[in-house]
Amino acid sequence: MRIGFIGLGIMGRPMARNLLRAGYSLIVYDRTAPLSDMVSLGAESAASSREVASRSDVIITMLPNSPDVREAVLGADGIASGARAGSILVDMSSIAPRVSQELAGELQKRGVPMLDAPVSGGQPKAEDGTLAIMVGGDPAVFEAVRPILEKMGSAVTLVGPIGSGGMAKLANQIIVALNIAAVSEAFVLSTRAGLDPEVVFEAIKGGLAGSTVMDVKLPSILDGNFEPGFRIQLHIKDLVNAVDTAHDLGVPVPLTVQVLETLRELEEQGLGAADHSAIIRHYEELAHTEVRRRHP
């Protein structure tokens, strides 16, 4: 089976490497990122999304946002113009569910089924192949590509029909953003009160307040390390999609809106490319308190 992989950014590159390590034949393309390192590992390069699709049985896209995926699929030299009937598109980008549904409808006219399969876990889990992958689409198509997905993720779940993977990812991103904000408020408060944040972390991480978000993000915060990770600008994109989807469904999401505004403020301050754990910088500035290790 030949796999095409389009989008070799922070997440896509390690995901593609894991497929190569698993023994799959890979054809790669990215509009801006270099391909030489992937070729040195055994991948073949392509000059367009269309070429990738024409040479692949399964095409995977891992792109920043809805417009990027739409262009890769339906644009000039896009996947739709090159894919053979019976090939499968797996979009692992985090985009608006309605866009996934629209693209799937267009591809179905050409006999190309599509799954939306966004991921959670950030760069560390992309590197070690333990991403959580949330999938929407036809169960038979899902089963056909499940072995491929399992080389990139340790939890691969079919959530429902097309668009369901994206909807689950929006729920995930709301929880992650609000969790980081809650961790930020709590640790700025306790640090301002004179407590050692590392000791507070040890005291609470085993209780009900414990979370994967806190376990992963707080050590970097304590080191003052806000390298992505997962960029603030990408989390803004996800929360905008979440708020728009919520409005379409008539669902209030006031906490999500509040954190979205905080992220936008940080982006305006030049922190859009920082890790989303930099949410704490907002609270630190308000309280004139930094949450950092006291004993390096």
Residue among 125, 169, 217, 237 flagged as catalytic:
169
* CB-CB contact of 137 with 113 (8 Å): yes
| Residue whose entry in the numeric block shows the structure tokens 């590509």 | 145
* CB-CB contact of 96 with 66 (8 Å): yes
Judged on CB neighbours under 10 Å (0-12, 13-18, 19+), 270 is exposed
Residue type, 257: V
Instruction: Give me 122's structure tokens.
Output: 């950030």
Is 169 assigned a catalytic role? yes
Q: How far is CA 277 from CA 72, 182, 293, in A?
A: 30, 11, 16
Cα torsion at 164, 10, 23, 138 (round to 10°)?
10
Residues catalogued as catalytic: 169
